[in-house]
């Protein structure tokens, strides 16, 4: 009887009959069998997704576990040290270090949404995430990734005011404006997270349950959906424009003005000092935006799983890990504060 109904189900043009039967009679195993056998592979009900690992070789798993665990610990400890240094030293209670402190906090949260799950998957050899867990992870990844994005833009604006308008800097960048800019960053991040989350919740079916990445990235779920492509494309390019084009345009404008002002300084020592103060931020911007935008927009057009995972690793793990070193090694104020705390 099961085989007969299955053959009849597969001959139907519409899948509703198969779904109706499986919901009331044999909801899990038969639905999985029926979905895998159909040519379209459209899955109406999803209970879990399967993530992709960096290697299937069992000998590589201990190496990957040690590598990612070390990177995660360095990221958390490094950014916590930056936060501790800024809080403990009253000389660092300035707008620049206020935003740097919040950037470090966002980096910790951003990395913590992906790496611990990946480490557990390596240990258990089971790369499965529930549907609810996938949406939750995607929401936090979008939120804290957007926080990094917007904070880097705000920091570029802060550098612009500090170098191009030094006499009016203290008046313009007052504590009230700093808090307001931070609230704007949080609001934009929350809007971005909920927009992509609500978009995924509108999907009624998926082509597959395997995500070609080590975490639930929004564009991956968009690609797996068999729903209307217009909505997916619209949201993808809306978010890409809002968090990619305009922030990059603002950063480029700020640094054009900064470079123009630096070149007007007559002494070479003054030019070097001015440029070295913002070079750390510029290097982080290039690393974060280069990999992040490439991953977000490139994955929607033509996606290579391995390249996408490497790009994701760069901006979710490597960039947050390097931020404390970049800002502390090239910043005398933070370096002196860390030495004082160490002593």
Considering only residues 289 and 50, tell me which one the structure prediction assigns the higher pLDDT: 50
Q: What's the confidence (pLDDT) of residue 329?
A: 65
Residue-wise pLDDT for 282-291, tens only, equals 777 887 777 6
Q: What is the DSSP letter of 13?
A: S
CB atoms within 10 A of CB 303: 15
Rg value, the chain, Cα: 24
Question: Is the predicted pLDDT of residue 184 greater than 70, yes or no?
Answer: yes
User: pTM for this one?
Assistant: 0.80
Instruction: Provide the pLDDT for residue 194.
Output: 92
User: CB-based contacts of 154: which residues, under 8 Å, 6+ apart?
Assistant: 99, 181, 185
CA–chain centroid gap for 186, Å, is 15
Which has the closest alpha carbon to 319: 290, 287, 296? 287
- CB burial string 83-115: b at 16+ within 10 A, e below: bebbeebeebebbbbbbbbbbbbbbbbbbbbbb
Report the pLDDT value the prediction gives residue 295, as an integer from 0 to 100: 61
Nearest Cα neighbor of 242 from 187, 291, 287 is 187
CA 222, CA 219: separation in Å to the nearest integer? 5
Share of the chain above pLDDT 90, in %: 28
CA distances from 168 to 9, 107, 164, 254, 275 (A): 73, 31, 9, 16, 20
Which long-range contacts (C-beta less than 8 Å, at least 24 apart) are formed by 325-330?
325/78, 326/280, 326/283, 326/284, 327/82, 327/100, 327/280, 327/281, 327/284, 328/81, 328/82, 328/85, 330/276, 330/279, 330/280
pLDDT number for residue 312: 82
Full DSSP string of 3-54: HHHHHHHHH-SSSHHHHHHHHHT-TTHHHHHHHHHSSS--BS---EEEPPPS
Interval 136-169: pLDDT, tens:
999 999 999 999 989 999 998 998 898 888 888 9
Q: Which two tokens stand for residue 197?
A: 């989350």
Between residues 13 and 231, the one the model is more confident about: 231
Which helix H or strand E contains 169, and what residues bound it?
helix 169-172
Q: What is the DSSP letter of 51?
A: P
Q: Are 287 and 322 in contact (CB under 8 A)?
A: yes
Structure-token match 């030495």, residue found:
339
At 48, is the secondary structure helix, strand, or coil? Answer: strand
Listed residue (161, 165, 106, 90) closest to 333, CA to CA: 90
Q: What is the DSSP letter of 209?
A: S
Q: Would you say residue 230 has pLDDT above 60?
A: yes
């Amino acid at each position: 009887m099961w085989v007969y109904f299955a053959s009849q189900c597969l001959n139907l043009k519409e899948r509703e009959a198969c779904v109706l039967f499986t919901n009331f009679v044999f909801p899990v195993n038969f639905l999985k069998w029926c979905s895998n056998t159909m040519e379209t592979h459209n899955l109406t009900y999803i209970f879990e997704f399967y993530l992709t690992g960096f290697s299937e070789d069992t000998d590589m798993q201990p190496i990957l576990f040690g590598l990612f665990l070390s990177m995660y610990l360095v990221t958390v400890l490094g950014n916590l040290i930056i936060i501790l240094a800024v809080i403990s030293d009253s000389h660092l209670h300035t707008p620049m270090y206020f935003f740097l402190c919040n950037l470090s906090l966002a980096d910790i949260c951003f990395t913590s949404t992906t790496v611990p799950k990946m480490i557990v998957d390596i240990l258990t050899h089971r790369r499965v995430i529930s549907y609810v867990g996938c949406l939750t992870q995607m929401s936090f990844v979008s939120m804290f990734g957007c926080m990094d994005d917007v904070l880097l833009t705000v920091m570029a604006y802060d550098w612009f005011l500090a170098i191009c308008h030094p006499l009016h800097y203290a008046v313009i960048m007052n504590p009230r404006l700093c808090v307001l800019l931070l609230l704007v960053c949080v609001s934009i991040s929350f809007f971005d997270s909920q927009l992509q989350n609500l978009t995924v919740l509108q999907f009624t079916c998926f082509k597959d349950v395997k995500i070609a990445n080590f975490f639930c990235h929004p564009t991956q779920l968009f690609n797996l959906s068999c729903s209307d492509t217009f909505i997916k494309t619209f949201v993808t390019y809306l978010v890409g424009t809002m968090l990619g084009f305009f922030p990059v345009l603002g950063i480029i404008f700020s640094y054009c003005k900064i470079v123009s002002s630096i070149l007007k300084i007559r002494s070479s020592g003054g030019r070097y000092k001015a440029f070295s103060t913002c070079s750390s931020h510029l290097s982080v911007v290039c690393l974060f935006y280069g990999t992040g935008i490439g991953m977000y927009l490139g994955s929607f057009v033509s996606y290579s799983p391995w390249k996408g995972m490497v790009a994701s690793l760069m901006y979710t793990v490597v960039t947050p890990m390097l931020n404390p070193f970049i800002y502390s090694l090239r910043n005398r104020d933070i370096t002196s504060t860390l030495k004082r705390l160490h002593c």
